[in-house]
Amino acid sequence: MSITANRIKELRKQKKLTQSELAKKINASRMAIANYETDRNNPSYAMLSLIADALDTTVDYLQGKTGSPLKTPHNGSDDGDDKKHVDLADDELIMSFEGKELSEDYKQAIIAMLKTMREGKQ
């Protein structure tokens, strides 16, 4: 079994989530989670990102690129909420992929998808 499949399953169990509960958090089916955990299917990067957020970890950890499941290195200080909010109405939102600037149409499609996802979670 792949490291990604193992880590998804391991973290889900550590968080005491069922496959159904994780699926609900990321707006997927229980079968999709089962297929990821058994290596029948590989999640897309976008899906891995949703899974990582739901399991409070990073995509790099799920992919085996790092050994630490922590989102950010813990420096001993707890200064409260460290989450960043991106306003999807912000005209200066910069998106690139592998150092290449995305087309305006592609950016708008991504923003529309993110808005739809945010509305679905509320």
Model pTM score = 0.59
What's the pLDDT score for residue 117? 76
Q: Is the dihedral of CA 74, 75, 78, 84 positive or negative?
A: negative
* Residue 70 confidence class, pLDDT cut points 50, 70, 90: confident
Q: Which residue has the higher pLDDT, 47 or 91?
A: 47
For residues 40-67, average pLDDT = 91
Q: How far apart are CA 37 and CA 18, in angstroms?
A: 12
Q: Is the pLDDT of residue 83 over 70?
A: no
Q: How many CA atoms lie within 13 A of 8 on its CB side?
A: 27
What's the pLDDT score for residue 98? 52
Q: 107, 105, 85, 111: which is closest to 97 by C-alpha?
A: 107
**CATH assignment of 3-62, given 3.40.50.300, 1.10.260.40, 3.30.70.640, 3.40.50.620?**
1.10.260.40
